[in-house]
Amino acid sequence: MRLPDWQTRLNAFLAGLGGQGFVYGQFDCALFVAGAVAAMTGEDHAQIFRGKYDNAKSGLKLLAGHGHTSPIDFVAMHFEETVPALAMPGDIVVVVEAGERALGILQGEWVYVVAQMGGVALAPRSRVLRAFKVL
């Protein structure tokens, strides 16, 4: 459940990511979204995964060991899916970024996503394929 000051907490989380470099197991799209959710709710759904993998293959293997086929499947198991048009600021979304599906956090007409070159980038809401409510 979102904390009363979730917007302030989410903005502070996002502002603190400026030069963060992309690193599997530390700062990738799944852990970015989990960090954003933790900022809004106080609950870190990905705590058991942090620092436990260092590439995409080992991350998927770790998820499989917990019954998930992908980071998107993990999100779908923990959050209620909604129609992308009804997604609200702070909700988790799946976007197409550089030809790949990636998790992000919706903020109005933009989606915050992890940039492969480091830091956080913005993708247009028009790229949203799926959305999940963060209550």
**pLDDT given for residue 43 in this prediction:** 96
- Per-residue pLDDT, 115: 85
Best CA proximity match to 113, nearest among 45, 49, 41, 36: 36
pLDDT in tens, the chain (135 residues): 999 999 999 999 999 987 788 999 999 999 999 999 999 999 999 999 999 999 999 999 999 999 999 999 999 999 999 999 999 999 999 999 778 899 999 999 999 999 877 789 999 999 999 999 999
- pTM exceeding the 0.85 threshold for the entire prediction: yes
The two structure tokens encoding residue 34: 């989990």
In a domain, 126, yes or no: yes
What whole-number distance in Å separates Cα of residue 111 and Cα of residue 90? 9
Classify residue 86: in a domain, yes or no: yes
pLDDT for the residue 117: 78
Question: Quick count: other Cβ atoms within 10 Å of Cβ 124?
Answer: 10
Q: Is 72 helix (H, G, I), strand (E, B) or coil?
A: helix
| 46 lies in some domain | yes
Q: Is residue 110 part of a domain?
A: yes
Contact 65, 41 (CB under 8 A): no
Q: How many domains does the chain have?
A: 1
Q: For residue 128, tell me if it sits in a domain.
A: yes
Q: Is residue 79 part of a domain?
A: yes
Asked if 89 contacts 107 with a C-beta cutoff of 8 angstroms, the reply is yes
Which structural domain, as residue segments, surrounds residue 125?
Answer: 6-132
pLDDT of residue 52: 96
**What CATH number is associated with residue 28?**
3.90.1720
**In a domain? residue 49:** yes
- Determine, yes or no, domain membership for 1: no
pLDDT number for residue 56: 94
Determine the pLDDT at residue 33. Answer: 97
Residue pair 2/41 in contact (Cβ under 8 Å)? The answer is yes
- Does residue 49 sit in helix, strand or coil? coil
